[in-house]
Amino acid sequence: MVVANSRLWNWKGLRRCFSQRDGFILVEGYESPEQWLPQCQRMAPCVAIADQALLERFDPAEFAGMVDFGRSVQVLVYGPALDERVVQNLVRMGCMGFVAEGTPPSILKKAAHALARGEMWFQRRLLTRVLQQLLFADRSPKLTPREKDILKLIARGYKNRAIAEKLCISHETVRWHIRGLHSKLGLQDRLGTAMYAQQYLDDDTPFQDAS
């Protein structure tokens, strides 16, 4: 197991939890992402504990390919508390689990064993939400240009009234479109809509003229 986090590596409880009789060999990982991931690949299959800040220095698509979406290197992320959007990004990058800062070593050990068995380690509620969004995205429902415009603005954090002002439409029209999006996408709340909307952020199609 490669530990790419100096704080974790210096944690005495970590080394007490993991021993060779558990089937793990602890190896201190490089702090540089350019060195750390090749180090993991040379040891594959392995479980790698990575600081969340380290992953932010990678291109998500490139990282996913290098870990083979969790098939060659099982990445367990260690970092601050998560929200659904962060979980979705980690899953898309091929990470297999997340452990919050301050988690007891015994839980970290359970998470590492789960990843070694090919399982994922996320809160069930969050993982269910993420998988639902990925499935909805794969469905690729037909959206109108106006619905796409609204999704892009939701993804950027706009509230309903700000969306109405941006698109020069009424507040009630925005609400009507969002209700239609919930029905079309199979979503129930704004958070789910915002997560789904992320796929439109890279779409360079300009906003439609006000109707």
Could you give the residue range(s) of every CATH 1.10.10.10 domain in the chain?
Answer: 141-200
What pLDDT is stored for residue 19 in this prediction?
67
pTM: 0.61
What's the CATH number for 2-132?
Answer: 3.40.50.2300
Rounded to 5 degrees, φ, ψ at 80 are: -70, 175
What pLDDT is stored for residue 201 in this prediction?
53
What pLDDT is stored for residue 204 in this prediction?
45
Per-residue pLDDT of the chain (211 residues; tens, 9 = 90+): 777 767 777 777 777 777 666 677 778 887 777 788 888 888 878 899 888 888 888 888 788 888 887 888 899 998 887 777 787 788 878 899 999 888 888 898 899 999 989 899 988 887 787 777 666 655 556 788 898 888 888 878 788 999 999 999 999 999 999 888 888 777 766 766 776 676 555 444 445 544 4
Rounded to 5 degrees, φ, ψ at 153 are: -70, -35
Q: Are strands 73-79 and 2-4 parallel, antiparallel or unpaired?
A: unpaired
Please write down the HEC assignment for all residues of the chain.
CEEECHHHHCCHHHHHHCCHHHCCCCEECCCCHHHHHHHHHHHCCEEEEEEHHHHCCCCHHHHHHHCHHHCCEEEEEEECCCCHHHHHHHHHCCCCEEEECCCCHHHHHHHHHHHHCCCCECCHHHHHHHHHHHHHHHHCCCCCHHHHHHHHHHHCCCCHHHHHHHHCCCHHHHHHHHHHHHHHHCCCCHHHHHHHHHHHCCCCCCCCCCC
Domain 141-200 has CATH 1.10.10.10: yes
What pLDDT is stored for residue 115 in this prediction?
92
Using CB atoms within 10 Å of the CB of residue 85, give its burial: 0 to 12 exposed, 13 to 18 middle, 19+ buried. middle
What pLDDT is stored for residue 209 in this prediction?
45
